[in-house]
């Protein structure tokens, strides 16, 4: 099998979506007529990743064998290292790798999880990831949490999304919201707190102590993502599990977090090497006894790729993430990923097992220059 062409494009979830709200999709065509689908990180609409795919990657992979996906990934990351290796380049390579695994599964007639060595579980619980709580009142936070409980998540994460240029802006308010949510859901319901890099080291210790008292499950990205040593210091000084890594794009970057003291890492399959990258990360985490709980919010192609990897892991200690529970992204898929009674079920069709509806894609795609 040889790659004959690729198409990198944005997808509008609703008419008039702002550019940064769109998805970033990739289709890879092979000479046997098969098509693999991939997705880049949709941060800022994935535009920079799509441009890299179109202008720096497309010509380089024509004629390549999709089964050489790991060699292709490592060759390109070294060839294009001056464009990254973090951020947009990571997203571009992730989209390509996911599409090549989809092709590999289709060629071999097997779901991706089988090619990864088999699934420990094919029904995956999820946690409701709720953003924007920094600007809500305590009461507004409770109303949103109540709404999301209706989807039967096995845990809830409240994200604060505060302005990272103003650390420790409202520690008292943040703790009050965490306390109110704990009271609402009861003592036994699993909760997580995501500071979205909004705290200083001292502020994080203070919030972390409150979360320990409230029985929170984990404390995510307390300090700036680039302060790796301080992230580790917070983790070492607190008893609660401290997590980080959704803004880490390389295996070496994940290693640095682990060495600093972080005991739960959260790389995202649409940012860090796709399926190949996340499997390498899984091996690193297993060797160090560190929890791998991938970041992956939007229920589209990356979500499916992530599910295949998580299903194939011996240790999956936490549920998978679901940010947007609405059906706004569903219309482009013949079989959109949606939970049933609190569980996402892994498809058994070859490849990722996710089918695009060609006419919907055609009406929503926006090509980049």
State the residues that interact with Ca ion by CB under 5 A. Answer: 194
Q: Between residues 310 and 368, which has the closer beta carbon with respect to Ca ion?
A: 310
- Least Cβ distance, residue 60 to Ca ion (angstroms): 33
* CB-based closest residue to Ca ion: 194
We find the least distance from the C-beta atom of residue 2 to Ca ion, in angstroms, to be 39
Smallest distance from Ca ion to CB 325, Å: 17
Q: State how far the Cα of 238 lies from the Cα of 57, in Å rounded to an integer.
A: 44
Full DSSP string of 107-144: HHT-BHHHHTT--S-SEEEEEEEE--TTSS-HHHHHHH
In the complex with Ca ion, the residue whose CB is nearer, 8 or 178, is 178
Task: Give min distance, CB of 3 to Ca ion, in A.
Answer: 34
Q: Measuring CA to CA, how many Å separate 214 from each of 76, 138, 182, 259, 322?
A: 46, 16, 7, 28, 23
* Tokens 């998580």, located at residue: 310
The encoded tokens of residue 30 equal 């092979």
Residue 326: exposed, middle, or buried by beta-carbon count in 10 A (0-12, 13-18, 19+)?
Answer: exposed
For the record, the structure tokens of 38 come out as 């991939």
CB of 70 to Ca ion, least distance (A): 28
- Give 97 or 194: the residue with its C-beta nearer to Ca ion: 194
Whichever of 105 and 153 has its CB closer to Ca ion, that residue is 153
CB–CB of 300/39 below 8 Å?
yes
Q: Which is nearer to Ca ion, 129 or 276 (CB)?
A: 129
Give least dist CB 196 to Ca ion, A.
6
Tell me how far apart the alpha carbons of residues 250 and 247 are, in angstroms, rounded to a whole number: 10
Q: Residue 157 is encoded by which pair of tokens?
A: 């994460």
Per-residue DSSP letter, 14? S
Q: C-beta of 242: minimal distance to Ca ion in Å?
A: 12
- Please say which residue, 9 or 217, places its beta carbon nearer to Ca ion: 217
Write down the least CB distance from residue 251 to Ca ion, Å: 20
**Phi and psi (nearest 5°) for 243?**
-120, 155
Cβ 194 vs Cβ 158: under 8 Å: yes
Of the two residues 244 and 352, which places its CB atom closer to Ca ion in the complex? Answer: 244
Q: What 8-state DSSP symbol labels residue 53? A: I
Q: Is 113 or 218 the residue whose CB approaches Ca ion more closely?
A: 218
Closest contact distance (angstroms) between CB of 348 and Ca ion is 31
Q: Which is nearer to Ca ion, 22 or 159 (CB)?
A: 159
Q: Look at strands 23-30 and 343-345 and give their pairing.
A: unpaired
CB 306 within 8 A of CB 116: no
Residue 243: count other Cβ atoms within 10 Å of its Cβ: 27
Give the separation between CA 243 and CA 217, rounded to whole angstroms: 11
The secondary structure of the chain in percent helix, strand, coil, rounded to multiples of 5, reads 45, 20, 40
């Amino acid at each position: 099998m040889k790659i004959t062409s690729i198409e990198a494009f944005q997808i509008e979830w609703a008419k008039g979506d702002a550019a940064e709200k769109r998805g970033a999709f990739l289709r890879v065509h092979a000479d046997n007529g098969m098509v693999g689908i991939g997705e880049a990180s949709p941060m800022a609409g994935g535009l920079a990743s799509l441009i890299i795919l179109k202008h720096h990657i497309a010509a380089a992979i024509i004629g390549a064998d999709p089964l050489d996906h790991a060699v292709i990934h490592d060759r390109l990351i070294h060839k294009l290292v001056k464009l990254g290796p973090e951020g947009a380049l990571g997203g571009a390579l992730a989209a390509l790798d996911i599409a090549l695994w989809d092709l590999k599964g289709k060629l071999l007639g097997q779901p991706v999880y089988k090619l990864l060595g088999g699934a420990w579980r094919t029904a995956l619980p999820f946690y409701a990831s709720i953003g924007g709580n920094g600007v809500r009142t305590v009461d507004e936070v409770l109303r949103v949490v109540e709404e999301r409980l209706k989807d039967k998540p096995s845990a809830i994460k409240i994200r604060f999304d505060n302005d990272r240029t103003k650390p420790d802006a409202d520690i008292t308010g943040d703790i009050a919201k965490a306390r109110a949510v704990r009271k609402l859901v009861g003592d036994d319901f699993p909760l997580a707190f995501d500071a979205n890099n909004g705290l200083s080291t001292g502020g994080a210790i203070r919030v972390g102590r409150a979360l320990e008292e409230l029985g929170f499950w984990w404390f995510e990205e307390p300090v700036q993502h680039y302060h790796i040593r301080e992230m580790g210091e917070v983790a070492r000084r607190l008893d609660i599990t401290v997590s980080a890594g959704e803004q880490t794009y390389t295996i070496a970057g994940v290693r640095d977090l682990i060495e600093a003291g972080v005991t739960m890492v959260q790389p995202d399959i649409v940012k860090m090497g796709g399926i190949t990258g996340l499997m390498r990360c899984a091996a690193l985490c297993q060797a160090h006894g560190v929890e791998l709980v991938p970041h992956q919010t939007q229920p589209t192609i990356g979500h499916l790729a992530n599910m295949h990897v998580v299903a194939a892991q011996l240790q999956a200690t936490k549920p998978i993430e679901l940010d947007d529970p609405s059906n706004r992204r569903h219309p482009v898929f013949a079989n959109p990923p949606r939970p049933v009674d609190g569980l996402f079920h892994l498809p058994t069709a070859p490849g990722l097992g996710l089918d695009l509806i060609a006419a919907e894609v055609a009406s929503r795609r926006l090509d980049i220059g």
